Chains A and B, each alone.
Chain A
Amino acid sequence: MNATERKRKYLILILIMFIVSSCNKDFLEQDPQTSLSTDQLFSSLDNVQPFLNGLYFKWRSTRVNRKGFYLMLGMDESQQGEYQVRTEAEQAALDKYDGFLDPNNKPIAELWNIRWPVVVQASEALVRLNAKFKNANTKDSAEIINYIGQAAFYRGAVLFELATYWGGLPIPEVTEQNIVLSGRKSLPDTYAIIEKDLLLAVSCLPQKQGSDPRIPTTWAAKALLGKLYMSAPEESGFRDFDKARVQFEDIILHGGFSLVSNFADLWNPYKTAGKEAIYTFFFNNIWPDTNEAQWYTGSRACSGNPTNYLGGYDLILPTEFCRTDASVGGLWEDGDLRKMESIRYDFMNGDMVPSVYAGFGEDQLLPHIKKYEDIRLNGKESFYNSGKNMYYLRYADILLCYAECLNETGNTSGAVIIINDQVRKRAWGGSLPEDKKWSTGMSQEEFRNKILDERMRELCFEGWRRFDLIRTNKFVQRIATYNKWAKESGTISEKHKLLPIPYVEIKQNPELTPADQNPGYN
C-alpha cells in the first residue's frame, strides 16, 4: 500500500464518519422560540396571571363584534335590523324562531364554540394549580389560592351562560395529560359543577378590588351565585330564592356598593361607574381592546363618514315596545331619564347629516341603541374602533334581583321599597314623583309583571334579558308579543327557550348522538 493509497483510505474513513456524525439526534429538536407550551407555561407562577387575563380576554371576546349581539337578538326589547333579517337566513332565525333555528345554525354554533375554550382552559389551570398548591410554600399558596379563585370564577360564569342557553352540558374531564370528552351531564350535575365553582371563587377571591380591575372580587362571585339560585331551572333542584336573597343581602350590606347618582354617567366614557360596577368588561379604542359595538348598533344612514360616532350597520335595534312611551302602549314613563340615555332618537350630528341608503332597510332612522355609542371617536376615528366598557354585573341589577327575591319569598312591600327608593329614584334624577312610585300594597303577581319592564328600563341591551325571560317563564309570550320578526313569523314555542346543540358538536363528540339534542330540534 503506497502513501497515496493510504491517504485515500484515510479520506474514505473521514467521509464515512461525516455521514454518521451528521445524523445527530438533537438536530431534529426544533422547538418554538416565540411561544410557550402548556407545560412551560405552568412551570412558573409568574405566567399564571397573564394566562388568567388571557381567559378574561377570551370571555370578553364573547361580547365583541357581531357575535356579541347574537344573544340579544330575538328578545322583547331588541331585534334585528330589517336589511339583516332579509339577507341572512340563519342569523334571521335568531329573531324569527323559524326552521333555520336548527342544529345547523351557524351563528348558534359560533356562540357555543367561543365559550368552551374559557371553560376548558380554566379547567386546565385548576388541575395544574391544585397540583402546585399541594407542594407550595406559604407565600406561593396565597398567590395560588387567588389564581384558583379566578379560574373557578371564569369557569363558573361561562358554564352558567352555557347552561342557561343550552341546558345540561358535555363538560369534559380535564387532566394534565389530556381532555376526555363527555356526554351531556344532567341538569342537576351541571348546576352542581357551576355552584361548586362559584363557591370556590367566593372563598378564594379577595374582598377588595385590587389594582387590576379584571381580577374579580368575592362579591362578583356572590352576585353570580345569587343569580344562579334564582335562575337555575326548577328541574335542576338549584332554584332557591331564599338562598339567592342571602347572597344579594350580603352584597348590599357588606359589599360597599352604591348607585352612581346620575344614570347618564354610567354611559359617559369619560366618567367611571364608581361604586356601581361589580364586574365589568373593559374596552378602549385601541385594537385588540375595541368591541366594535357601534358598528352593529349604529345606523347605516350615518355611516357615510366613518368618524360619525352614530354610524353603524343596523344589526340590532330596540323593539317598538322598547322604544316607545307607555302612553302609546310602550315602555317609557314620563320623566324617566333612562330613556334618552338608552336609546338614540335623533341622528343629527353637527354637519354630519344622516342620509338613508336605499335598499338597506326602512329602519335606518328608527330609534337605535345608544348605550354603546362612543363619543370619544366623534370626528376623529372610525366608529369601528368603538370601545366603551360593558357592564357584566352592576349594583342596580343586584338591587333589582334582590327585590325580586324578596317578592318571591313573600316580602313584596320590602321589594317595592328597594325599587322606589333606589332604582326608580335615581331614574327620575333623585326624586321620584308620587305617581311614579310603586305601591307597597301590590300583589306578588303584580310585582312579577312590573319587575320585567323595570328591568328592561334599567338594564336593556346589557345582556341579561334572555336570562330574565327564561327565568320568569315569559320567554315565548313576551317575545311573540313585542318582537316584530317573531310576531310576523309566529313560530316561536317553548322549545326555543333552549338553543339547539350545534351539529358540529354532536358530530365530533363521540359521546353524543343526535338523540342527545334538546327537545324539538331533531
Chain B
Amino acid sequence: MKPIISLILLLFLHNLLLSQNVTVNGKVLDSTTNQPIPGVNITIKGVYGIGTITDEEGKFSIEVPESSVLVFSFIGYNSKEVVPRIGEFMQITLTEELKELDEVIIVGASVKRSDLTGSVSNVTTEQLKNIPSGNLNQAIQGKISGVYIENNPAPGSKASIKIRGSNSIQFGTNPIYVIDGLVIDGGFEMLNPEDISNIEILKDASATAIYGSRGANGVVVITTKRGKKNKKIITVDNWMGYQSFSNEMPLLTGPETFDLRVDAYANAYMDKNPLADRDRYIKNSLTNTNPIKNLIFSKEELESYANGSTYNWLDQITRTGFQQNNAISFSGGNDDGTYYASFGYNYQKGQIQKTNYKRYTGKINIEQNLKEWLKFGSNNSYINTSEKPVPNDNMFITALRACPLLPVSKDYWYMKEGKIDNQSSSNPLRDLTIDRDIFSNRLLSSNYLNISPIEGLDIRSTYSVDVQQVENYSYYPTTSTQSYKSTYNGQSVQVKSKTFNYQWDNSVSFRKIFDGKHALNILLGSNLSFYSYNYNQQNASGYNNDLFSYKYVQGATDKDRFYLGSDFWTYSLMSYLLRINYSFNSRYYLTLTGRADGSSKFGPSNKWGLFPSIAGSWNITNEKFMKQQKIFSNLRLRIGYGIAGNQNIPNYGYLTRYNPSISLESNILTNSGRYGNPSLRWEKQKQINGGMDIGILNGMVEMSLDVFKINNEDLLMERSTAPSSGYLTQIDNVGALENKGFEFSLSITPFHRNNIEWNIGFNIAAAKNTITKLYGDVTEIYNLGGYTNNEIQREGNLFLGKPLNTIYVYQFDHIAQESDMDYINSLEKGSRIIKPGDILPKDRDNNGIINDQDRYVFGKKDPDFYGGINTELKIFNFGISLQANYSKGAHRISYLYETLMSSIGTSAAHRDLLNRWTPENTNTNIPRAYSDGGRFNIWDVDWAVQDASFLRISYLTLSYVLPGRFLKSLQMNQFRVYFTGNNLFTMTKYKGYDPETGDWYPSSKMYILGFNIVF
C-alpha cells in the first residue's frame, strides 16, 4: 500500500504546486459517430472560474496552468478528464452516457439511481469487457465488495453467490435476481453477457426494501441494453478459447505405489502377528511374483511392476476443452421509441469426454411512445440450452484414484484395488458409455405500460412471465457398471419439468420539487407473484440391448421395476409498498419505506409480514463550507435501518401431509415424517448499515466504506422434534444469527494523460456470523449421515455461539510413538486401534475416553475476508488489464487429498506419503501405511482440514483498439481485439485441486482470443 499512497500524494502536489500557463487547442468528437460536438463544457480540474465551451465545429482553445487536468463535460455524455499535451492539437472523444444508466427498474417502477439510498454497488459493461466469460457470475467475481462468488468449473454449471455472508441457517442464502423488473430465483448465468447493460447489487436493508419479501440475501438487479435515439448500431462480439486443467495432483508412480502397498499390508500383518518375521512374510506373500501365491497383487499388477509401468486413467477420460461465444446485436431508435435485438451462441466443450454445453439466446427490447402521455415497453429473452453433463459425477475422482499399476481397460465392472473389486466405484471407461442430456427452454418477458397524465406523476403497470421447460434424460446401458450392479439390463430415466411464473406489478409514483429545494418522490405499489412447477418422471429398465439409448421406452421389458413419478405445486406472494424519498437542497436525503408482504407458504393466520425501513444520507460536498476546498469532489455519509424478510421454505410446511403410494399392490397413505406447523411465520432480517463515500480530486481517488450489523431472527429451519411426538421434523422459526461486517472499495486513477491512463481498483469485505440462539435450550444440532445415516458429520452442524459453517473434528495431537503406548492403552477408544505411527487425537475433555465429545469446532468454511484487485493500463491504443481475487481464512475439506493420503497402495496415492511414518522416519505428521481399518483416519482430525486461502490471477487481458483513421476505411465505428488468459495462477496452501471450486472437478485455465466490432 505504501508506494501507492506516496504516488497519490506526489500527484496531488504535482497538480497543486506547478502553475505555469499554457494554451491548449483541440476538438471534441462523439466517440461512435465521430461527429463534432458543440457546446461541450471545458473546465480545469480543481480550479473554479476558468473554463470555456466548444464552438459549432466542436473546437476549443483554453489557457491553463501547466500540468492541470481538463474536464470535458456535456449533457448526455460521460465527462472525461484529460491531461493536455502542450503544442499539440488535441482530439477528444466523448462517449454518450447511456440514459438507462441513471434509471433502475425495480419491481413495478422505474427509479433514479440517485434515489437508491443505502448500500448499492454496480458493475457496468465497460468493466465486463475485459472478462470474456460465458457466465455472468464469473464475470462479476471480485468486482464488488461484499459479494462472494464461488465458481463451479463444470461446463454450464452455476456459481454460488453470497452477499454479505450467510443470513439464514437453512433456507436460502442466494440473492434474488431482478432482470428488467422480473424477479427470478436462479438461472441468471443463462443470460447472454453481451446483453447486459448494468448490474446493480443492493446490499443493505434500505436498498433491498423495495423487494422486501425476498431481499434478505441481497438483490442483484440486471438492466439489459436498450436502443438509442437516432443511432443505428450493429455490434459483433466473438471470442474463443482453449481450456486445460489448472492443476495436477502429485501422485506416486507405479513402483512407489507398489512399495506403499507392501508396507501397508506388512504393517497390518505384524500388528496381528507381532512375533512373525516381517521380511519373510513380505517375500512369500506380498512380493511373490507368482500371482497365485501373492496375496495382494493381481497378475496384471505384477506384470506392470516388472515392467516399471505407471498407468494414467485420467488421460483416458479427459481432453482439451474449448469454449466459444458469438454475439451480434442491432439497436436503434427515433423520437417515438427504441429497439434492441440480439442473438448469442455459447459453446463449451468440457474437459471430461462427452461433456458439453450449448446455449442459444435471443433478445428483443422495445420501447415506444404511443401518445405524449403513454409509453409501453417490452423486454424479452429467449434462452435455449442443451447440455451433456458429466456421465457420472464420481468418474473424475475414480479415474484419478485408479491404481497406477492397474492397466487401463474397459473390461472390469468395478475398479480393482489389488485383488479386490471396489463395488462402490464404477469403471470410468464404462461410465463414458452412459448417455445424459439436459435440454431447456426459457422465456423471460417483462412488459409495461406507463401513463404520465400530469408532470411528475407516473402510473405504471407491468406484467412479466418466466416460463421454463427442462428435459433431463439419462440412459445407463447394459455396458455400464450402474446397470450391472442393480441388474437393470439397461435403464432409462426421463424427467420433464415445467416452471411457469408470473408477476404483476402496479405502481403510482409522484415526483415534485417545491421551492427549488425540497424534492419529494412518493411511490405506491402493489405486486402479485405466482409460481408454479410440475414434473413427471419415468424410469424404465430391462432393455437387454442398447439400441436407442433413452429414446424408445417401448423397448423396456422389466415392467415390475418401472418407476413413475410426478408432482405439481404452486405458491404465491402479494405485497403493498409505500416509499417516500425526500431531499433537501441536494444535501440531506431521507428514504422511508413501508411494505406488507403476504406469502402462501405460511398458515392462514401468519401469511403477512411488515417490513419497514428508513435511511438517510448527507451529501457534505454540497454544503457551503465545502465550496472552497478542492480536495473532496464527493463526500457523503449514509445510514440506514430496515427489516427484510425470507419465506424460502418448502411449500405447505404449515400442514401435516399424507401422500399415497403403492405397497403390496394396494394404496397406502403415509407421511414423510414432517409435522405441520400452523404458526410458521416470516424470517426477519434486521439490518443496520452505515456508510461513507469519498471522492478526491474529481474522482482521481474514490472510496466507499460500509459497516453493517444484521440480526437475523425467527430463522426458518427444518428442525428435529422429540421423536416421541411421532414426527421427526418440523419446519419452525428457530434461533437467531448475528452477522457483522464491513466492505471497502477503492479506485484510484494515479495516472491520466491523454493517451495513457492507469486505473487501480481494490476491494475487501468481511462478514462474521454467530449463532446466538437455537430453539429451546438446545445448544447444538448435529448433521447426521454417513454409513449408518447416524454419524455426526464434519460439516453442517450448528453450535450455539459459533459461526454457521463450521468444521467439527477431533484435534490432532501427534503421531503416536512407541513411548506413548502406555498412555494409549489406558484410553477407552471404542473399537479404534492406535499403534506407533497412527494418529493420536487429543482427549480434549481429559476423561480417558475418546469419543464424539472430544470433537471440536475447528475453523469455518467462510473466509475472514475476501475481495478483488483489478488494474487497467491504457497506452495509446493498447490496453492491459488484470483481475485478481483473493480469500483469506476459509477452511475446506479436501476429499481428494484425504483420499489420496489414505491410500494403501491399492489406489493412487499422494506424493506426501513418501514422508509417512516408519520406524526409521518417526519425526513426521503423516501416519504409517496400514491396510486394515480401525485407526483414526486423517479425516477424523483437524490435521486434514485445509486452509483454503488463495490469491488468484483470474483474468489478464491484452487489447488493442484500432485507431479512428483505419476504422473509417473499414466502415466501422470501433474495432477491438483482445487476448485473455483466464485463471493463470493461484497462490494457495490448499492441497486438493482448487481452494475455491473444490475437488470433484478441477478448475481450468483458458486462453482466449476475441474481437469486438461496432458498425
Contacts and interface: CB of A to CB of B under 8 A. Distances in A.
Contacts of B635: none
Contacts of B530: 27
Interface in A407-435: none
A32 B672 CA distance: 14
B723 A112 contact: yes
B508 to A, nearest CB: 7
Contact of A286 (B454, B560, B567, B598): B560
A162 to B, nearest CB: 9
Contacts of A110: 788-790
Contact of B667 (A53, A83, A214, A510): A53
A505 B726 CA distance: 11
Interface in A74-99: 83, 85-93, 96, 98-99
Nearest to A304: B421
Contacts of A502: 723
B274 interface: no
Nearest to A284: B664
With most chain B CB atoms within 10 A of its CB, the pick from A9, A99, A504 is: A504
A348 interface: no
Interface of A: 8-9, 11-12, 15-16, 18-20, 22-23, 27-38, 41, 47, 50-51, 53-54, 56-58, 66, 83, 85-93, 96, 98-100, 104, 106-107, 109-110, 112-113, 116-117, 119-121, 123-124, 169-172, 174, 179, 181-182, 212, 214, 282, 284-289, 303-304, 306-307, 357-359, 380-382, 384-385, 502, 504-505, 507-510
B933 A28 contact: no
Given A15-B459, A99-B828, A117 B724 contact: no
Contacts of A289: 663-664
With most chain A CB atoms within 10 A of its CB, the pick from B423, B600, B660, B722 is: B722
A109 B784 CA distance: 11
B453 A22 contact: no
21 contacts: A15-B459, A15-B506, A27-B572, A28-B599, A35-B658, A35-B659, A36-B659, A53-B666, A57-B663, A85-B831, A89-B830, A99-B849, A107-B788, A110-B790, A113-B723, A172-B726, A181-B725, A285-B560, A359-B420, A385-B487, A505-B722
Contacts of B851: 89, 99-100, 104
A307 B489 CA distance: 12
Given A54-B658, A86-B932, 10 more contacts: A12-B451, A15-B508, A28-B599, A33-B568, A87-B933, A172-B726, A304-B421, A306-B485, A507-B778, A508-B723
B727 A117 contact: yes
Interface stretch (B636-644, B649-657, B705-713, B968-976): B649-657
Interface residues of B, number: 92
Contacts of A287: 561
Contacts of A284: 664
Contacts of B420: 357-359
B370 to A, nearest CB: 13
Contact of A51 (B658, B675, B830): B658
B993 to A, nearest CB: 28
Given A90-B790, A99-B851, A16 B508 contact: yes
A151 B607 CA distance: 36
Interface of B: 265, 268, 295-296, 373, 418-421, 423, 451, 453-454, 459, 461, 484-487, 504, 506, 508, 524-526, 528, 530, 560-561, 566-574, 576, 598-600, 607, 651-652, 655-664, 666-671, 673, 675-676, 720-728, 776, 778, 784, 787-791, 828, 830-832, 849, 851-852, 931-934
Contacts of B670: 54, 57-58
Contact of A109 (B724, B790, B849): B790
Contacts of A507: 778
Contacts of A22: 504, 506, 526, 528, 574
Contacts of B661: 288
A382 B423 CA distance: 13
Contacts of A50: 660, 666-669
B830 A19 contact: no
A120 B506 contact: no
A212 B508 contact: no
A333 to B, nearest CB: 36
A85 to B, nearest CB: 6
A387 B750 CA distance: 76
A35 B722 contact: no
Given A29-B600, A304-B421, A509 B724 contact: yes
A87 B574 contact: no
B726 A307 contact: no
Nearest to A509: B722
Given A27-B528, A27-B574, A30-B571, A117 B726 contact: yes
B889 to A, nearest CB: 32
Contact of A8 (B453, B569, B832): B453
A304 B417 CA distance: 13
B487 A9 contact: no
B459 A11 contact: yes
Contacts of B721: 508
Contacts of A504: 720, 722-723
A303 B658 CA distance: 38
Nearest to B573: A28
Contacts of B419: 358
A116 B725 contact: yes
Contacts of B572: 27-28, 30
A54 B932 CA distance: 43
A107 to B, nearest CB: 6
Contacts of A51: 658, 668-669
With most chain A CB atoms within 10 A of its CB, the pick from B487, B600, B728 is: B487
A7 to B, nearest CB: 9
Contacts of B671: 54, 117, 121
Contacts of A9: 453
Q: Which 8 residue pairs of A and B lie closest in terms of their CB atoms, listed nearest first?
A: A120-B726, A106-B790, A89-B830, A8-B453, A509-B722, A30-B600, A35-B657, A508-B722
A285 B664 CA distance: 11
Given A15-B459, A30-B572, A172-B726, A214 B652 contact: no
B461 A15 contact: yes
B656 A37 contact: yes
Nearest to B532: A30
Nearest to B527: A22
A357 B776 CA distance: 48
A12 B459 contact: yes
A510 B776 contact: yes
A182 to B, nearest CB: 7
Contacts of A11: 451, 453, 459
Contacts of B459: 11-12, 15
A91 to B, nearest CB: 6
A32 B652 contact: yes
A155 to B, nearest CB: 11
A92 B600 CA distance: 47
Contacts of A357: 420
Contacts of A382: 485-487
A357 B421 CA distance: 9
With most chain A CB atoms within 10 A of its CB, the pick from B418, B423, B568 is: B423
Contact of B487 (A96, A109, A174, A380): A380
Contacts of A96: 831
A123 B794 CA distance: 38
B668 A54 contact: yes
Contacts of B720: 504, 508
Contacts of A53: 663-664, 666-669
Given A30-B570, A36-B657, A357-B420, A18 B506 contact: yes
B955 to A, nearest CB: 45
B508 A172 contact: no
Contacts of A505: 722-724
A113 B831 CA distance: 25
Contacts of A85: 831
Contacts of B461: 15, 18
